[in-house]
Chain A
Amino acid sequence: MSQALDDRTESIRMIRDSAGAVAPRGGDTKRVRALRFQAPGFDRAVFAEMGALGWIGLAVTEEAGGAGLGMSEAVALAEEIGAGLAPEPLIPAMLSARLLAASEDKALLGPLLEGGKVVLTAWQEKADTLAVPGTPDAPRVFVPMAAGADAFLLPVREGNLISLHVLEAAGADLVLEKTMDGGNLGTLRADLGRATRVADDIGAVIEQALDEAALVTAGHMLGLAEKAFELTLAYLRTRQQFGRIIGTFQALQHRAADLKIHIALIRAAVESAAATLDAGATGAVRQAAVSKAKHRAIESGMLVLRQCIQLHGGIGYTDEYDVGLYLRRGMVIMNQYGSANLHRRRFMALAPEDVE
Chain B
Amino acid sequence: MVSIAPKETTDLNQMEDEAFRLHVRSWIEANYPAELRNPPKRLHWEENKPWYFMLAEKGWLCPGWPRQFGGLGLSPAKQIIFTEEIERHGCARTNDHGIVMVGPLLINHGTPEQQQEFLPKILNGEHIWCQGYSEPNAGSDLAALRTEAVLDGDHYVVNGQKIWTTLAMDANWCFLLVRTDKNAKKQEGISFLLVDMATPGITVKPIINLEYHDEFCEVFFDNVRVPAKNLVGTPNRGWDMAKALLSFERIYLGSPRLSAYAFTRLRQLAERMGAWEDPAFQETYGRLRLDLEDLKSLYGAFVDKLRRGETLGPDVSMLKVFQTELFQRITDTMLDIAGENAGLLEPMEGNRNLNPTGLYIQARPATIYGGSNEIQRNILSKNVLGLPG
Contacts and interface: CB of A to CB of B under 8 A. Distances in A.
A241 B140 contact: yes
Contacts of B210: 309, 317-319, 324, 327-328
Contact of A179 (B216, B332, B345): B345
Contacts of A339: 336-337, 339
Contacts of A178: 344-346
B318 to A, nearest CB: 17
Interface in B106-165: 134, 137, 139-141, 144, 163-164
Nearest to B214: A319
Contacts of B141: 241-243
B344 A302 contact: no
B357 A331 contact: yes
B357 A180 contact: yes
B344 A314 contact: no
Contacts of B216: 314, 318
Interface string B337-348: 111111111100
Contacts of B273: 127-128
A300 interface: no
B1 to A, nearest CB: 42
A180 B343 contact: yes
Interface string A331-345: 111111001110001
Given A127-B339, A313-B372, A306 B209 contact: no
Nearest to B360: A331
A333 to B, nearest CB: 7
Interface size class of B (residues with CB under 8 A): 35 or more
Interface in B192-226: 207-210, 212, 216
B365 interface: yes
Contacts of A141: 340
Given A318-B208, A331-B357, A339-B337, A241 B344 contact: no
A339 B328 CA distance: 19
Interface string B254-291: 00000000000000000001010010110000000000
Interface string A290-329: 0000000000001000100110011011111000100110
A67 interface: no
Given A128-B339, A177-B344, A178-B346, A320 B207 contact: yes
Contacts of B144: 241-243
Contacts of B139: 241, 313-314
Contacts of B369: 314
A319 B214 CA distance: 10
A242 B145 CA distance: 11
Contacts of A242: 140-141, 144
A302 B163 contact: no
A314 B134 contact: yes
A135 interface: no
Given A251-B374, A324-B210, A314 B164 contact: yes
Interface residues of A, number: 42
B355 interface: no
Contacts of A335: 335, 338-340, 342-343
B209 A317 contact: yes
A241 B373 CA distance: 15
A185 interface: yes
A85 B278 CA distance: 34
B208 A341 contact: no
A336 B208 contact: no
B212 A331 contact: no
B95 interface: no
A181 interface: yes
A52 interface: no
B93 interface: no
Contacts of B317: none
B216 to A, nearest CB: 8
Given A242-B141, A313-B139, A328-B210, A179 B343 contact: yes
B367 interface: yes
Contacts of A340: 336
A139 to B, nearest CB: 13
Interface in B313-366: 328, 332, 335-346, 357, 360-361, 364-365
Interface of B: 134, 137, 139-141, 144, 163-164, 207-210, 212, 216, 273, 275, 278, 280-281, 328, 332, 335-346, 357, 360-361, 364-365, 367-369, 372-374, 377
Interface of A: 124, 126-128, 141-142, 177-181, 185, 240-243, 251-252, 302, 306, 309-310, 313-314, 316-320, 324, 327-328, 331-336, 339-341, 345
18 contacts: A126-B339, A127-B273, A177-B344, A180-B344, A241-B137, A242-B144, A252-B374, A309-B368, A313-B139, A313-B140, A313-B372, A314-B216, A317-B210, A317-B364, A318-B209, A334-B343, A336-B340, A339-B337
Given A242-B144, A317-B209, A328-B210, 13 more contacts: A124-B340, A142-B340, A185-B340, A240-B137, A242-B140, A318-B208, A319-B209, A331-B360, A335-B339, A339-B339, A341-B275, A341-B280, A341-B337
The 8 residue pairs across chains A and B that have the minimum distance between CB atoms: A127-B339, A332-B343, A128-B339, A142-B340, A241-B141, A319-B208, A178-B345, A179-B343
